Chains A and B, each alone.
Chain A
């Protein structure tokens, strides 16, 4: 299984860019990397997904180096509402669900 490691917490201020890195040293060839956001008392919500290089959508960017042993979620100009737990998920899109491995999550706190 592709074990993932993330920082436990990060603090930032409104308007700043936040980068959260997830380490997944034993990622497999057919594994994708997905990031989810979770607010208190809610289920996780999809943010972004990628396989390699860079992916960008309307809310975030995902940077994946060539060796794919880590990935970085980049949140531009965060606001108070971005305060949440961010999870990195590594796993294939065929095969058993047990191959899906969520990280322990990073608690992001955004202040004024």
Chain B
């Protein structure tokens, strides 16, 4: 079956512009996560959706970052007024549910470069 997909795979933007990153989780997975990975760094948790519950936004680095998940499936991560320090790979993952032992399945990531 299809895995987690993300689009675009690469995005180059100018400082100050807004960008939208999309994640299509595995069908039937109720939990969805966004992470950020800066060059040579580990994964930084950003936001987490579980079913129809309010998202856990505790990892968002600033109010320029927001995310939504429509219909419990596709998710969009929006970065407003991008800054150069936003340049990173943005990874999305999904899991069947947020319960014991659930493996996260990651997408290939979106590489964002802010000039």
Q: CB-CB contacts of B83-108 with A at 8 A, as 1s and 0s?
A: 00000000101000011111111111
Number of interface residues of B (CB under 8 A): 28
In this complex, the interface size class of chain A, counting residues with CB under 8 Å from chain B, is 20 to 34
Asked if B48 and A44 sit within 8 Å, CB to CB, the answer is no
Asked if B101 and A102 sit within 8 Å, CB to CB, the answer is no
Whether, in the assembled complex, A42 has its beta carbon less than 8 Å from a beta carbon of chain B, the answer is: yes
A105 partner residues in chain B, CB cutoff 8 A: 42
Mark out the residues of chain B between 29 and 44 whose CB falls within 8 Å of any chain A CB in the assembled complex.
Answer: 33, 35, 41-44
Asked if B56 and A46 sit within 8 Å, CB to CB, the answer is no
B19 to chain A, nearest CB (A): 19
Asked if B33 and A104 sit within 8 Å, CB to CB, the answer is no
Smallest Cβ-Cβ distance to A102: which chain B residue:
B43
A93 partner residues in chain B, CB cutoff 8 A: 98-102
Partner of B56, one of A42, A43, A96: A96
Asked if B41 and A104 sit within 8 Å, CB to CB, the answer is yes
Partner of A43, one of B48, B93, B103: B93
- Tell me, in angstroms, the Cα distance from A32 to B104 when the chains sit together: 13
Smallest Cβ-Cβ distance to B107: which chain A residue:
A43
Name B's A-contacting residues (CB within 8 A): 4, 33, 35, 41-45, 47-48, 50, 56, 58-59, 91, 93, 98-109
